[in-house]
Homo-oligomer: A and B are copies of this chain.
Amino acid sequence: MALEHAILVSLLEKPGSGYELARRFERSIGYFWTATHQQIYRVLKRMEGDGWIDVREVPQQGRPDKKEYSVAGPGRAALSGWLHEPIEPESVRHDLAVKIRGAAFDDPAALIREVERHHRAHSDRLAHYLAGELRDFTGPEAPAAPGDAGQELQHVVLRGGIAYERMTIAWLDDVLATLHRLRAGH
């Protein structure tokens, strides 16, 4: 399980409540690791029980109070331990690839709309990444200190996301061309 580690990283970058973490997992970190608020609250409970994180009740005005979590010593140690362990290169799950191979036994042309939908979704995500890169790293407002390890590492992860989306979009173009070719040659 790496959700706890993803949460530790996020809390180290900035302490926050379960709710705030859930929002971060919809953006930023969430592009590389997904989680629902349910999972997050449950894991936060466990980590608190294990002494990995500290809680602080924060009264708020204009909205319900929250519990702000921050990483404690044992949590930092656990993260460090995990960082030094080797992990297996990820096992992928591409529904769409299964669908494409399955289309050989159905109507390939029926997939065109679906593939176009994915194409749009990935284009949107790419645009979102590029906007974030301009805002946080390469734009005029970006911090001018290039020596900050955290900045550099967040940027290289973001560049990975950008490369992934570009590759995927190019591949979906290839898929669409193939589907159209199959339809033309029926």
Contacts and interface: CB of A to CB of B under 8 A. Distances in A.
Interface of A: 2, 5-6, 8-9, 12-13, 29, 31-34, 76, 79-80, 82-84, 86-87, 89-106, 108, 110-111, 114, 117-118, 121-122, 147, 149-150, 152-157, 159-160, 163-164, 166-167, 170-171, 174-175, 178, 181-182, 185
A119 to B, nearest CB: 10
B182 A171 contact: no
Q: Oligomeric state, in number of copies? A: 2
Instruction: Please report whether the interface of chain A is mostly helix, strand, loop or mixed according to DSSP.
Output: helix
Contacts of A121: 89
A163 B156 contact: no
A87 B114 contact: yes
A114 to B, nearest CB: 6
